[in-house]
Amino acid sequence: MTTVPTPQSSRPGDLSPEEFRAAAHAAVDWIADYLEHPERVPVRSRARPGDVTSALPASPPKHGEPLADMMADFERIILPGITHWNHPSFFAYFANSSTYPGILGELLTAGLNANAMMWITSPAATELEQVTLDWLRQLMGLQDGWFGQITDTASVSTFYALAAAREALGLDIRARGMAARHDLPTLRVYCSEHAHSSIDKAVIALGLGHDNLIKIPADEHFRMRPEALREAIATDLALGHLPMAVVPCIGTTSTTSVDPVPEIVRIAKEFDCWVHVDTAYAGPAAIVPELRYLLDGVEGADSMVVNPHKWLFTPVDCSVLYTKRPDALRQAFALLPEYLVTKDQDQVVNLMDYGIQLGRRFRALKLWMVLRAFGADGLAERIRFHCELARDFAGMVHFEGGWELTAPVPLSLVCFRYAPAHASEDAIASMNAAIMERVNAEGRAYLSHTKLNGKYTLRLAIGNIRTDRSHIEQVWSELRAAATAVAG
């Protein structure tokens, strides 16, 4: 028996405007309900590997399917496979959240579908990006003179920064490459042992060789030791290597430690090294006046990355790369094939000249809407509150027998663990892994872990706009209950 497909609209495949209107209103209602009651779902998905795949047809539909079926499958198949970053008790990795103004921005961006590859292909997209990033610069208390562009992730922003640093050496690597060049010394990049793996990936992707990323030891508070940096550079120079870039981090991934950027900049500049500051998570904290000191020394750097999609209430994805040397980025990436020549090209910014990608999503719209809806005061208030919650939680841990803090708490992340007296390091590690798994499996909170100097440590990261004191208290009581159960 053959079934005759019912056309959904006058134009097969697409919806009719009326159908879209009704479906979009319903989707917006769905989002508002979801964000109003995010606690109705378990934070961490309970899906097992393959669950989602096996619930989906292996081949695509031949005939168009009704929207109602898709929405039903969204609830039935997709949602159970979602880990809810919007949940106020999402404390793993670095928590984030999307907010209504950001969601509206995303919706309008999808509606416009502008490809901002050049100024002329949507002047407002390019100009809004420049203006919004200049606002963000001012919000973080940085001086004039930074050129900003939006990328998808900090990983890509850092890759671009190091590509610019390599070109700024003046060794014509863009044209001649690096292979079989006897005139080319080994290029070296330096970061702390606590730096993010995106630095490693950038070094690998740029063909510098992973062995040429030098991890500088940190002090007892997990901050890069400047004198160790100086020694590493001196050793490399003696070997005939060329120090290319130093990448300090403000807000490291494991502990949110802050590398001493002013001293690092001073040393790097002595040796003509590019300084790229990774402040993907912590950068927005500089919007809070009393936390502005975090960016001390950044004015001396060449580039910096900050992620509004982390702690600035903007939906994934939105990372910002700032540089004081946009000319070096252009030197690394600008190309002009005939089909992209435009008559105004010398009077405008064409963002395709500053990186790999030609096509570009209009991401500035959502960030602009977030910054406008919150204002400097609203943003500062939220970020300040998250830091306060982290200090409260740290206090609970500190005063509870058998538990300990494993790192200072400068921002909104707490590193801690259950460490009963006389337990061995191995026993502590397996108890904490078991405590975390118990809490995560319950579905009411989600934490992640790290290792600090080989010591297994839990991490509680606060960054969701809907998190309040009750969520902190609840996860703390779950953790203690899990510890009791695990310790037997």
Window of 31-39, 43-51, 228-236, 275-283 that interacts with ligand PLP by CB under 6 A: 275-283
Closer residue to ligand PLP, CB minimum distance, 257 or 440:
257
Count residues contacting ligand PLP (CB under 6 A)? 14
Say if residues 456 and 449 touch (Cβ distance below 8 Å).
yes
Is position 450 an interface residue for ligand PLP (rule: CB under 6 A)?
no
Element (H, E) at 308: helix 308-311
Contact residues for 266 (Cβ-Cβ < 8 A; gap 6+): 300
* Region from 114-122, 149-157, 259-267, 362-370 binding ligand PLP, contact rule CB under 6 A: 149-157
- CA within 13 Å, CB half, 127: 8
Q: Among 133, 154, 162, 171, indicate the residue that binds ligand PLP (CB under 6 A).
A: 154
Whichever of 278 and 353 has its CB closer to ligand PLP, that residue is 278
Nearest-CA neighbor of 155 among 187, 203, 214, 86?
A: 203
Question: Which residue, chain included where needed, has tokens 């001012």?
Answer: 138
Interface residue with ligand PLP among 85, 90, 94, 146 (CB under 6 A) is 94
Q: Cβ distance 407 to 257 under 8 Å? A: yes
Q: How far is the CB of 148 from ligand PLP (least distance, A)?
A: 16
Between CA 34 and CA 40 the distance in angstroms is 8
CB of 155 to ligand PLP, least distance (A): 3
Q: Is 278 in the site for ligand PLP (CB under 6 A)?
A: yes
Cβ distance to ligand PLP smaller for residue 173 or 224: 224
> Which residues from 327-366 bind ligand PLP, rule CB under 6 A?
none
Q: Which stretch binds ligand PLP (CB under 6 A): 43-51, 102-110, 278-286, 446-454?
A: 278-286
Residues 6+ apart with CB under 8 A from 172: none
User: Smallest distance from the beta carbon of 275 to ligand PLP, in angstroms?
Assistant: 15
Left (φ > 0), alpha (ψ -120 to 50) or beta: where does 474 sit?
alpha
In the structure encoding, which two tokens stand for residue 97, read together? 């959240």
Nearer to ligand PLP, 42 or 297 (CB): 297
Compose the 303-332 pattern: x for residues touching ligand PLP by CB under 6 A, - for all others.
Answer: ----x-----------x-------------
Nearest distance from residue 252's CB to ligand PLP, in Å? 6
**Other C-beta atoms within 10 Å of 386: how many?**
23
φ, ψ for residue 85 (rounded to 5)?
-65, -20
Confirm or reject binding of residue 280 to ligand PLP (CB under 6 A).
Answer: yes
Q: How far is the CB of 354 from ligand PLP (least distance, A)?
A: 18
**Residue 298 interacts with ligand PLP (CB under 6 A): yes or no:** no
Q: Which of 92, 117, 232, 249 binds ligand PLP (CB under 6 A)?
A: 249
Return the number of the residue (160 or 362) whose C-beta is nearest ligand PLP.
160
Instruction: Give the contact letters, 397-436, x = binds to ligand PLP (CB under 6 A), - = no.
Output: ----------------------------------------
Give CA–CA dist 77/60, Å, rounded.
Answer: 16
Residue 253 engages ligand PLP in binding (rule: CB under 6 A): yes
- Strand order of the β-sheet with 319-323 is 147-151, 319-323, 303-306, 274-278, 242-247, 187-192, 213-216
Our finding on whether 258 is near ligand PLP (CB under 6 A) is no
- Residue 462 binds ligand PLP, judged by CB under 6 A: no
- The region of 150-158, 218-226, 372-380, 457-465 touching ligand PLP under the rule CB under 6 A is 150-158
DSSP state at residue 418: E
DSSP 348-397: S--GGGGSS-SS----HHHHHHHHHHHHHHHHHHHHHHHHHHHHHHHHHH
User: How many Å apart are CA 278 and CA 457, to the nearest integer?
Assistant: 23
141 or 284, CB closer to ligand PLP? 284
Q: How far is the CB of 196 from ligand PLP (least distance, A)?
A: 3
Whole-number minimum distance, CB 231 to ligand PLP, in Å? Answer: 24
| Euclidean distance between the first and the last CA atom of the chain, given in angstroms as a whole number | 63
Stretch that binds ligand PLP, among 46-54, 64-72, 246-254, 287-295 (CB under 6 A): 246-254
Part in contact with ligand PLP (CB under 6 A); list of ranges 125-133, 173-181, 227-235, 273-281: 273-281
Question: Which of residues 43 and 411 has its CB atom nearest to ligand PLP in the complex?
Answer: 411
What is the distance between the alpha carbons of residues 132 and 311, in angstroms, rounded to a whole number?
A: 17
- Helix, strand, or coil here: 6? coil
Q: Does 198 bind ligand PLP (CB under 6 A)?
A: yes
Number of helical (H) and strand (E) elements in the chain, helices listed first: 15, 11
Question: What does the alpha-carbon distance between residue 56 and residue 123 come to, in Å, rounded to a whole number?
Answer: 41
Contact 245, 165 (CB under 8 A): yes
Q: How far is the CB of 326 from ligand PLP (least distance, A)?
A: 21
Name the residue type at position 425.
E
Strand segments, DSSP code E, in 162-224 are 187-192, 213-216
Residues that bind ligand PLP (CB under 6 A): 94, 153-155, 196, 198, 249, 251, 253, 278, 280-281, 307, 319
